[in-house]
């Protein structure tokens, strides 16, 4: 367990940051590069623990992947059926994205594939992706039919499926798209609520086709993709920590460069705007994945109500909205967020437990929070704890900056899962 002294706020946060590459897009660039014909190069790749698990998995499957300090090069296999039988289990570490998407991508291989993960990932349910894949003909043996470790058994055929997703999950949707590309006939998917669409965008960028109309998706079997040059925008989920810090730490002004602005990911900006926050967005690019610079300065926020309709667009940022709500005027109610209970930790419980250590007036509900705002946070007497959850750890670091005092964070190393340079970037804004 790594325990560190948290950075203190002295005179606000000031400066410009280049946010690390988007985690979702980094994962998918390796996956599509691996099944494509020819070479794929990926600039501004996120070299975090999670994304390195995806690289390691494809190397174990016989894909040649080279890395430099800021680029990944993938020599594609030219289809789904060219992988080599790995000589050991694929270790997913803490990466739920790698696990769920690979279950779909590897569901039609002529050999068995074992998958394992760390203690946290091995507690996270997989039945929501295993069940529809089984309907397509995938043969998966998992612990309690739901958990890692598991075995994807040799399978030569996948059949189409007409499936309504019972929960809003981009990972489940993506797994079924990747399996649907290998099915006998077109697969039809209906989302409960529209979720992030990086898989659909990247499929098209690599030369594939997919039909989308609102919540309805049609996946036609296809296997001919061409290697591409991908430039990964900054991860808005990582930028969100500095957006909230810039809003809530007094005397701050922060510029975040080339942050991804995919409309399915900007729920955090919409929610904060409803709380009264004002941003300046400049230097926008109109690529497949749009991006732009975001300028933030300290402001007073107002309470907000979030429901299940809002959650898919900001599911990873809900802990930050809860933190911002402690500083807002009025009472914030967040509901429909029960998905947070099956993340790296039970985020509803951990957010409540940890922010209470700092004096927040916050109560948990089965599907969210009630937060009475306007509370002056104080540094916790006892150490704060990420509980091994990267997003909880970074949220607590921002909370301590808002509080303005000293503090300690246990399990701080979890932050490397998605943002290895987080502490350096905090220090840069304090210099």
Active site residues: 316
Q: Look at the block and give the residue holding tokens 């705007």.
A: 273
Q: How far, CA to CA in Å, does 116 sit from each of 175, 252, 342, 389, 413?
A: 18, 43, 18, 18, 21
What is the three-class DSSP state of 81?
coil
State the Cα–Cα distance between residues 54 and 56, nearest whole angstrom: 5
In this structure, what token pair is assigned to residue 323? Answer: 């933190």
State the Cα–Cα distance between residues 382 and 29, nearest whole angstrom: 42
Q: Is 23 annotated as a binding residue?
A: yes
Q: Is 28 annotated as a binding residue?
A: yes
Say if residues 338 and 288 touch (Cβ distance below 8 Å): no
Q: Is 374 annotated as a binding residue?
A: no
Beta bridge pairs of residue 369: 334, 364
Count other Cβ atoms within 10 Å, centred on residue 335.
17
Q: Is 100 annotated as a binding residue?
A: no
Q: Is 343 annotated as a binding residue?
A: yes
Q: Is 135 annotated as a binding residue?
A: no
The pairing of strands 408-410 and 384-385 is parallel
CA angle (200, 126, 314) in 5-degree steps = 50
In this structure, what token pair is assigned to residue 341? Answer: 């209970």
In this structure, what token pair is assigned to residue 241? Answer: 């920590």
What angle do helix axes 422-430 and 390-403 make, rounded to 10 degrees?
A: 20
In this structure, what token pair is assigned to residue 307? Answer: 């429901």
In this structure, what token pair is assigned to residue 79? Answer: 């289809």
Q: Is 124 annotated as a binding residue?
A: yes
The pairing of strands 147-152 and 162-164 is unpaired
Residue 167: phi and psi, rounded to 5, are -130, 155
DSSP state of 8: P
Which of 247, 256, 253 is CA-nearest to residue 299? 247
Q: Is 128 annotated as a binding residue?
A: no
Q: Is 316 annotated as a binding residue?
A: yes
Say if residues 419 and 242 touch (Cβ distance below 8 Å): no
Residue 286: phi and psi, rounded to 5, are -115, 40
- As annotated, the binding site for phosphoenolpyruvate includes 23, 96, 124, 171, 347, 391
- As annotated, the binding site for 3-phosphoshikimate includes 23-24, 28, 169, 171, 316, 343
- As annotated, the binding site includes 23-24, 28, 96, 124, 169, 171, 316, 343, 347, 391
């Amino acid at each position: 367990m790594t325990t560190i002294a948290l950075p203190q706020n002295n005179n606000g946060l000031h400066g410009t940051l280049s946010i690390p590459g988007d985690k979702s897009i980094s994962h998918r660039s390796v996956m599509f590069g691996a099944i494509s014909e020819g070479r794929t190069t990926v600039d501004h790749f996120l070299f975090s623990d999670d994304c390195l698990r995806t690289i390691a998995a494809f190397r174990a499957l016989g894909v040649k992947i080279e890395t430099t300090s800021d680029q990944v090069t993938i020599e594609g296999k030219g289809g789904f059926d060219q992988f080599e039988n790995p000589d050991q289990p694929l270790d997913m570490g803490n990466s739920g994205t790698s696990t769920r998407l690979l279950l779909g991508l590897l569901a039609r291989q002529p050999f068995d594939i074992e998958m394992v993960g760390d203690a946290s990932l091995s507690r996270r349910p997989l039945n929501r992706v295993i069940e529809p894949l089984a309907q397509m003909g995938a043969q998966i043996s998992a612990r309690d039919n739901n958990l890692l470790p598991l075995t994807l058994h040799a399978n030569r055929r996948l059949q189409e499926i007409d499936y309504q997703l019972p929960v809003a999950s981009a990972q489940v949707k993506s797994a079924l798209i990747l399996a649907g590309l290998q099915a006998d006939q077109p697969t039809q998917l209906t989302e409960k609520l529209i979720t992030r669409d990086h898989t659909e965008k990247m499929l098209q960028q690599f030369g594939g086709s997919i039909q989308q109309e609102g919540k309805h998706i049609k996946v036609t079997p296809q296997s001919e993709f061409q290697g591409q040059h991908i430039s990964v925008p900054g991860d808005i989920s990582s930028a969100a920590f500095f957006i909230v810090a810039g809003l809530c730490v007094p005397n701050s002004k922060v510029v975040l460069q080339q942050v991804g602005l995919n409309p399915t990911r900007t729920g955090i900006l919409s929610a904060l705007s409803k709380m009264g926050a004002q941003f300046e967005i400049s230097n926008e690019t109109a690529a497949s994945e749009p991006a732009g610079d975001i300028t933030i300065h300290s402001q007073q926020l107002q309470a907000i109500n979030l429901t299940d309709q809002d959650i898919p667009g900001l599911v990873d940022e809900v802990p930050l909205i809860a933190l911002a709500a402690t500083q807002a005027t009025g009472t914030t109610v967040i509901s429909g967020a029960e998905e947070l209970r099956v993340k790296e930790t039970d985020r509803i419980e951990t957010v409540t437990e940890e922010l209470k250590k700092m004096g927040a007036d916050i109560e948990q509900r089965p599907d969210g929070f009630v937060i009475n705002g306007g509370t002056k946070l104080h540094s916790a007497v006892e150490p704060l704890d990420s509980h091994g959850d990267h997003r909880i750890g970074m949220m607590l670091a921002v909370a301590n900056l808002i509080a303005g005092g000293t503090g300690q964070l246990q399990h701080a190393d979890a932050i490397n899962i998605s943002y290895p340079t987080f502490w350096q970037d905090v220090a840069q804004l304090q210099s």
